Structure 1
């Protein structure tokens, strides 16, 4: 059967939030057929197996969550403003993220840890990309004499770990205040990092 890019995209869009909510292991073929209205044959005519659908669904969820935050960050010129834009995105959009099942990276990382090797590799790549972006913002800020000297890589890990951990706790405990308070603490840290 010839794969149709339009049908593949339809399947991905219809199933992405299901994978993010139910997990990549906990999503069954029946979930895919129910969400799309397509048969098992139509799904497997467009994808090798459920793991391939899961991988593409993760990519879709990741893109959805990163396009807007990158758009906000890229509007800023100074390093501290870029970091604050990143944090403000989570402050403003956490409800949408939670409604879609939570952070795509966090969910896929936990779900693929010992199962789907391809998905785990994809998640690792996205985390490395995220760390690199934050680290680069910090390094540029240090070079431009906007920020104090810090170990940019360690600081990037700290920011990301605090955001991801806060999303995990806030969503699991149904207490958004955990995320919001930690965002404010991170913003205070960034203010202290400024040279001017």
Structure 2
């Protein structure tokens, strides 16, 4: 990695938590300067604009999130155990190497759905990627006779994502952790019934 690539990566790593906590519109150039210790010219010498930094920060946060999930799944044997990782991590995400501020898909989706087409597209792509990963797990479970052949992998995957993300959103907005726990309990029952 050359010096310019190292500087870009440094900027991404330092600003990613800010974008994930404050959102695109809430993150200012002064926030980026404070986080990196670089000047405005240095930041925009490596990125064309705030959009480019935000898109790279989203990718970084998403990779961090998927890596935390994948690392936990690698320690599990059955498909159900792997699916239950979502419950475990999202119920206790502060104890995992998860992006600061929580799920970047949820955070970005809520903010960018009507305001930032490029970030919205990134969030939508992340949902489709996540859905495909779950669908593949479901298909493997069916092929291994661990899960019911009557399952619709697409339906199970998108429902699981909606419940997990919805549980986090409701809990964050209301400040009621018991709501997240209750929804994760329902997700666990759903997975165990597969």
Q: Same fold judged by TM-score > 0.5?
A: yes
In 2: Cα distance, 1:70 partner to 1:24 partner: 27
Q: Which residue of 1 aligns with 2:183?
A: 182
Query: Is the 1:73–1:86 contact (alpha carbons within 8 Å) kept by the matching residues of 2?
Result: no
Query: For 1:37-186, what aligned pairs fall within 5 Å after superposition?
Result: 37-94=37-94, 100-148=100-148, 149-186=150-187
1:49 Cα deviation after fit: 0.4
1:91 Cα deviation after fit: 2.1
> Please, which moves more after superposition, 116-125 or 60-69?
116-125
> Which aligned segments of 4 or more residues in structure 1 are displaced greater than 4 angstroms?
94-99
Q: Is the partner of 1:24 in helix, strand or coil? A: helix
Give the structure-2-normalised TM-score. 0.91
**Count of residues in Structure 1 that have an aligned counterpart in Structure 2:** 192
Deviations 1:44-94 (A, max 9, x none): 000010000000111111111110111111332321111112321222325
Q: Which residue of 1 aligns with 2:25?
A: 25
Give the structure-1-normalised TM-score. 0.90
Alpha carbon RMSD of aligned pairs, Å?
2.0
Which structure 2 residue ranges, 5 or more long, are not aligned? none
1:180 Cα deviation after fit: 1.6
In 1: Cα distance, 2:135 partner to 2:76 partner: 16
